[in-house]
Amino acid sequence: MIKCVDLFCGAGGLSHGLMKEGIEILAGFDIDESCRYPYEKNNHASFYNQDVSTLKGEDINRIFGNGGVKLLAGCAPCQPFSTYSHRYGKDTTGKWALMYQFSRLVHESDPDLITMENVSSVIRHEVFSDFVADIKKLGYQTWFDVVDCSQYGVPQARKRLVFLASKFGEISLIKPSSKNPVTVREAIGSLPVISAGETHIKDKLHTSASLSKLNLERIKHSKPGGTWRDWPEHLVAACHRQESGKSFPSVYGRMEWDKPSPTMTTQCYGFGNGRFGHPEQNRAISLREAAILQSFPKTYKFIDNTKPIEMTNLGRLIGNAVPVGLGKAIGKSLKRHMANL
């Protein structure tokens, strides 16, 4: 049995995918307390609200206990490596330090298997090269590549770096499961119709942000896959009239039914934040739709029903998550690896 401790676990996307493939999830660590409810409710594991810099290998091994194959998983927050950041030097004191902390915990806990997911651009940073070299020095066989999540059952165009390591020999991610990506229509086309600013009575997460009168007019004139250039002149935003705004055609865009969605971000619930308009209804996608496009099950619980919906917080949990479908692909790869020994 493979047993997993998940660092930087978030709302549990990676853990849930691994769990679906039969890996026992023991615990997740994250500094965001709002991750506790979704993580524990859906993954039958303990959540620790703790900074990994204060965590010790002996703490992890106490959770692992005796027996089984130890998997240390994690996704160090990606903001330092995003295309919006141009800090390419080494920084071992700020958020860059999180990957070095991950490396330290590998040294101290000595797991059998390791997996990490991150934004694709991390591959060109020194901190990642250091991480890989350090893991290799410990005797692990390693594999990493940038993969398209839409090839692994995720209804979303999302490129991510996947890293795998094993003490037992060569390891790699399984080949893509399908040449025909799941489309937006297949993923969310059957959900009940709601209006902007409305919450469905049977699913609290199926709630859509309200729209101003101006943005309601804009979305009515937006075509699936189109741009703000489709609008009448009086609806075009001032920023788009400037030279710098002409390179952002996807802002205020609608998704297309018969393609995967664009990459979900922490602001995926906002019509003006990207191509996050519903393909047909005059609103931005709901939080539930965003979660489904991240390949979370339709029944995944993100908040207690007694709690109010906080769009910003829940958007962050959903947008930052590892897609469950990618987690399943990693889980299948690890299971296959162990079966072939």
How is the chain split into domains, by residue range? Answer: 2-179+324-339, 184-320
- What is the amino acid identity at position 21? E
Asked if 64 and 57 count as a contact pair (C-beta separation under 8 A), the reply is no
The one catalytic residue in 4, 9, 75, 78 is 78
The pLDDT value recorded for residue 247 is 52
**Dihedral in degrees, nearest 10, Cα atoms 173, 179, 184, 188:** -70
- Confidence bin at 242 (pLDDT 50/70/90): low
Instruction: Please count the CA atoms within 13 angstroms of the CA of 26 that sit on its side-chain side.
Output: 20
Closest Cα partner for 76 from 59, 107, 101, 54? 101
Class of domain 184-320: alpha beta
Residue 88 has pLDDT above 50, yes or no: no
Element (H, E) at 188: helix 184-188
The pLDDT value recorded for residue 81 is 47
Closest Cα partner for 216 from 136, 146, 271? 271
CATH architecture of residue range(s) 2-179+324-339: 3-Layer(aba) Sandwich (3.40)
pLDDT in tens, 125-143: 899 999 999 999 999 999 9
Look at residue 169 and give its three-state secondary structure. Answer: coil
When pLDDT is averaged across residues 182-207 and rounded to a whole number, the result is 97
Asked if 81 and 96 count as a contact pair (C-beta separation under 8 A), the reply is no
Q: Rounded to whole angstroms, how far apart are CA atoms 87 and 83? A: 10
The pLDDT value recorded for residue 243 is 54
Q: Tell me, yes or no, if 78 is annotated catalytic.
A: yes
Closest Cα partner for 224 from 250, 199, 198? 250
When pLDDT is averaged across residues 11-19 and rounded to a whole number, the result is 98
When pLDDT is averaged across residues 139-154 and rounded to a whole number, the result is 97
